[in-house]
Amino acid sequence: MLIDGTLIPTRRHTGKDNRKNYSGKHKRHGPHFLALTDERGRLIWISAARPGRTHDITAARHDHIVEHLKAAGRAPVEHGFAHLKTWRILTKLRTSPARATNLLRALLVLTNLELDR
């Protein structure tokens, strides 16, 4: 299995509490998600939403999935995220992290059903 993380960009909310959702790497606000894929790029699992500033390895350690890391390259994982990000609803995501988690997990199921056609 392969692992990688992505930031789903959102609008900036006001207040100090939203600073944790700012990713300095991407220069954007939004929740961070971690995903596991197989070698073909098919998404298997998506983590709960984390603050946008969370690094991939920190999220993997928190989810106890560091042992699943494989040095086979990132291309299949990026391919899996590319399939997931084709859903138009993710272009203007304005929801809480809990709802964003449920949404991405539902889109994971729909994406895999679409790919199995």
Model pLDDT for residues 82-92, shown as the tens digit of each residue:
777 788 888 77
- Calculate ∠ Cα 87-26-107, nearest 5°: 20
Residue 100 has pLDDT above 80, yes or no: yes
Distance (Å, whole) CA 13 – CA 1: 35
Of 31-35, 62-66, 74-78, 93-97, where does mean pLDDT reach its minimum? Answer: 74-78
Report pTM: 0.53
pLDDT digits (tens, 9 = 90+) for 9-62: 776 665 666 666 677 676 677 888 888 888 777 888 888 888 877 877 788 888
